[in-house]
Amino acid sequence: MLKIDNLVVAYGGIEALKGISMEVEEGKIITLVGANGAGKSTTLRAIMGLVKPVSGAITYKGSNLLAEKTQNMVRNGIALVPEGRRVFPNLTVLENLKIGAFCRNDEKNIKEDLEWVYHLFPRLKERTWQLAGTLSGGEQQMLAVGRALMSRPKLLMMDEPSLGLAPLVVKEIFNIIKEIHKQGVTILLIEQNANAALHIADIGYVMETGRISLKGTGHELLANQEVKEAYLGKKAK
Amino acid sequence: MSFDIFLQHLTNGISLGSLYALIAIGYTMVYGILRLINFAHGDIFMMATYFAFYGVITFGVPWYIVFPIVILLTASLGMTLEVAAYRPLRNAPKISIMISAIGASFLLENLAIVIFGGVNKAFPTPEVFTGVVQLGPVSLQKLTFYIPIITVIFLVALLYLINHTKTGMAMRAVSKDHETAGVMGIDVNKTISITFGIGSALAAIGALMWGLKFPQIYPLMGVMPGLKCFIAAVIGGIGNIKGAVLGGFILGVGEIMLVAFLPSDYTGYRDAFAFILLIVVLLFRPTGIMGEKISEKV
Ligand SMILES: Nc1ncnc2c1ncn2[C@@H]1O[C@H](COP(=O)(O)OP(=O)(O)OP(=O)(O)O)[C@@H](O)[C@H]1O
Ligand SMILES: [Mg+2]
């Protein structure tokens, strides 16, 4: 579905991605784990067209994604839950969700999807008319996920959706990710919480300072000694 | 001074305030979406009066055909200005865009002097807008009476557009976060363009009524109203539309009352009033009356 080939991205001469290649297969959950500053967010930003790569290729369903403008990504079925939530604070919860469906005109299906999002996040339903800027951090995170879903994405990319959430809510978010996946949405997930992410992922990639250092199924990576030490906080015996 | 005369001055003030409000909205909308003070806004206002002059006087077309065309032309002028002078600098440092705005202002002023000539011209005043209406004890120029009504109609339409339409929602989203708005599929450039169009159209509506009220037009006529309306926008809380309207009314009413109640020796301070008020308001409320505090959850 999505293929990244030898992608190099630099910020003012400093390479944040030093030639990464990865693949997102349709219908799978893919996760990208790695330390702070490894280049995970940069990867998603490059896919969305928010940063222009120095070299390399990104293809989506066989066509060159680098030629597309950011604003057309969502029409192609790619949605992003950005790092740091980035809900529109001056818009109500409902308006934020409607913005997620900005490119759609199928009012009837939009209504259905709204109900679906409210079913996933009953909290949002209670707060339909509240300004998003006044939501709690966790509620904003739910809104950011809900907003992305409102575009009916085929590929949903999430940048640390569990950041700053209470453990119970984290669990809830992961359950919701699984439920979204069951609806046929392909998922590319970035997580600090490598343990939880690798448990639900079909394929995981480990990133280290701009390079992919490991690739494997979720279970392989969970069992991998290096991964255990570096990302799962388990000491080797 | 009798109550009747007070009412008379009040209506005059409200009328002038309406014009200030219409122009101030353009400053506040552009600031809201680009964090840019569009120094050329007053000159766009001036251009609108000349468009009307040439349409009605030179080409002899009836005012009711000319005025709507003037509004559209002025809107396109504002949109062209954005594309030519501001869009190429979208990611440049703020100071570059500001200098570009000042340059655009000088360009329009000097272009007007070259093309239209520096001599004052008489703005056409169709008969429907002249004459007097009697409202109880208060007798008013018809125009003084019409201006606030027309202004309110457009303000209601504007607020509806911003708060209840998809375009308005996009404008509000873009004003907070260009990047995320783009991720949502919003055409950010188009949205900014629309904002300039609306701001300039409102300035044109203000300019047409201004011309009818003060029928002397000249290339630098936009400078003082432009400055005052910018002040009105800042007093109200720049970025906030209702604030700009409030600021416009405060300035208009204040100015007229000052002239009416102070001894005639002091009426020369009329224009200084706006600046003094600005300083006072900013001392007590640095973000303006309705301006929001800048705080965001991280
Ligand atoms: N706009 C920018 N300008 C300059 N450098 C940047 C910019 N954005 C990111 N970087 C740098 O690129 C590198 C990768 O950043 P990125 O945000 O992709 O990391 P990350 O893997 O998402 O980290 P985290 O887990 O902390 O979110 C970092 O060294 C960062 O400092
Ligand atoms: Mg990141």
ipTM reported for the complex, 2 dp:
0.92
Q: Which residue of A has its CA nearest to B240?
A: A90
The pLDDT, as a whole number, for residue B248 is 96
* Domains (range + CATH), chain B: 3-284 (1.10.3470)
Q: B294 pLDDT band (50/70/90 cuts)?
A: low
The tens digit of pLDDT for each residue in B140-187 reads 888 999 999 999 999 999 999 999 999 999 999 999 999 999 999 999
Using the mean position of ligand 1's atoms as its centre, give its distance from the Cα of residue A134 in Å. Answer: 28
What pLDDT sits at residue B138?
79
Cβ atoms of residues A225 and A237 within 8 Å: no
Q: Domain A21-51+67-77+156-237's class?
A: alpha beta
A residues 55-94 closer than 8 Å to B (CB): 69-75, 80, 82, 84, 86, 88-91
A11 at B interface, C-beta within 8 A: no
Tokens for A36, please give them: 């702070």
* Whether B179 and A99 lie within 8 Å, measured CB to CB: no
**Cβ atoms B63, B56 nearer than 8 A:** yes
pLDDT at B265: 79
Q: How many angstroms separate the CA atoms of B37 and B162, rounded?
A: 20
Domain borders along chain A are: 21-51+67-77+156-237, 83-152
| Cα–Cα distance, A215 to A207 (Å, whole number) | 9
Chain A neighbors of B170, CB-CB under 8 A: 99, 102
Best residue for ligand 1 mutational test, from A41, A189, A191, A231 (most atoms within 8 Å of Cβ): A41
Predicted local confidence at residue A234, as pLDDT: 64
Structural tokens at position B104: 């655009």
- The structure's pTM equals 0.92
Centre of ligand 1 from the C-alpha of residue A22, in Å: 19
Look at residue B242 in the predicted model and tell me its pLDDT. 94
A34 in contact with ligand 1, CB cutoff 6 A: yes
Tell me, using a 6 A CB cutoff, whether residue A165 lines ligand 1: no
pLDDT, block means (10 residues), chain A with 237 residues:
95 93 95 92 96 95 94 95 95 97 94 95 95 93 95 96 85 92 95 89 94 91 84 62
